[in-house]
């Protein structure tokens, strides 16, 4: 489990000002709420599980482990492309990825990988218009080895633009401590603060299991 905090601070001067568009506090709450959710998602992808007991008053600071760490540490299939992605190479990746687990999995990929797949699977990919199961549009590709639901993840940029994770979603669970799922705490500022401070707080983690059901493709270049 990891504690995630995102603060929202608005001065009393700003609260008393008449702004075009109305009160600034609702806008800041929405903006910081998005940042809070993105921070959790980044940890679920790239976090490293650890516990640091050197915190104040002996309270341990814990970090949840992410999917990349889990795949690298387990017996998942990892294919380092180190170049452009070809149809035979991707067929090998899909074949190995579907050796264990469900017959339908989700491919979360960066833009470089998705561009390559659009070329490889031209005419074979079906856009599922109503599918927003993971907060994103999904394209479906029925292969010989199993069904691949393809999702472009906007977090996969720069060093991760050439990454793709093919995951069996049944093996991942969002967990949180009782009463510690995402909440907005309001007016938590000190008594002498000239303004209002709110805070989003979540204590959660990602439960990961059955590494052999998942696969990682990396190093794809354009």
pLDDT score for 11: 84
Q: Which of 22-26, 101-105, 202-206, 207-211 has the lowest mean pLDDT?
A: 22-26
Instruction: Note the residue count of the chain.
Output: 222
Does position 3 have pLDDT exceeding 80, yes or no? yes
Does position 15 have pLDDT exceeding 70, yes or no? no
pLDDT grade for 118, boundaries at 50, 70 and 90: confident
Buried b / exposed e along 132-166 (16+ C-beta atoms within 10 A): eeeeeebbebeeebbebbbbbbeebeeebbbbbbb
- Kindly report the number of other CB atoms within 10 A of residue 181's CB atom: 13
The Cα angle at residue 43 between residues 72 and 136, in degrees rounded to 5: 95
Task: Please give the Cα distance from 138 to 151 (Å, whole number).
Answer: 5
pLDDT, the chain, mean:
87
pLDDT grade for 128, boundaries at 50, 70 and 90: low
Does position 133 have pLDDT exceeding 80, yes or no? no
**C-alpha gyration radius of the chain:** 21
pLDDT score for 142: 86
pLDDT grade for 155, boundaries at 50, 70 and 90: very high
Would you identify the CATH topology of the domain 76-172+210-220? capsid protein of prophage fold (3.30.1930)
Taking residues 48-60, what's their average pLDDT?
73
Helices and strands (H, E) in the chain, number of each type: 5, 13
Q: Which of 19-28, 41-50, 61-70, 138-147 has the lowest mean pLDDT?
A: 19-28
pLDDT score for 140: 84
For the chain, residues classed under CATH 3.30.1930 are 76-172+210-220
């Amino acid at each position: 489990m990891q504690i995630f905090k995102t603060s929202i601070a608005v001065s009393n001067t700003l609260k008393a000002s008449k702004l075009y568009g109305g009160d600034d506090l609702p806008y800041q709450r929405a903006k910081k709420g998005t940042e809070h959710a993105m921070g959790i998602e980044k940890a679920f992808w790239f976090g490293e599980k650890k516990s640091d007991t050197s915190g104040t008053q002996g309270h341990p600071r814990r970090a949840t482990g992410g999917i990349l760490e889990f795949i690298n540490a387990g017996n998942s299939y990892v294919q380092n492309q180190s170049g452009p992605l070809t149809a035979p190479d991707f067929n090998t990746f899909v074949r190995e990825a579907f050796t264990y687990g469900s017959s339908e999995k989700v491919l979360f990929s960066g833009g470089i990988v998705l561009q390559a797949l659009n070329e490889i699977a031209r005419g074979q990919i079906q856009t599922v218009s109503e599918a927003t199961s993971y907060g994103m549009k999904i394209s479906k590709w029925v292969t010989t080895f199993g069904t691949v639901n393809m999702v472009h993840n906007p977090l996969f940029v720069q060093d991760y633009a050439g990454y793709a994770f093919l995951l069996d979603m049944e093996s991942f669970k969002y967990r949180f401590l009782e009463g510690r799922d995402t909440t907005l705490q309001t007016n938590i500022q000190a008594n002498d603060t000239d303004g209002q401070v709110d805070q989003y707080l979540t204590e959660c983690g990602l439960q990961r299991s059955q590494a052999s059901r998942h696969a990682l493709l990396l190093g794809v270049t354009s």
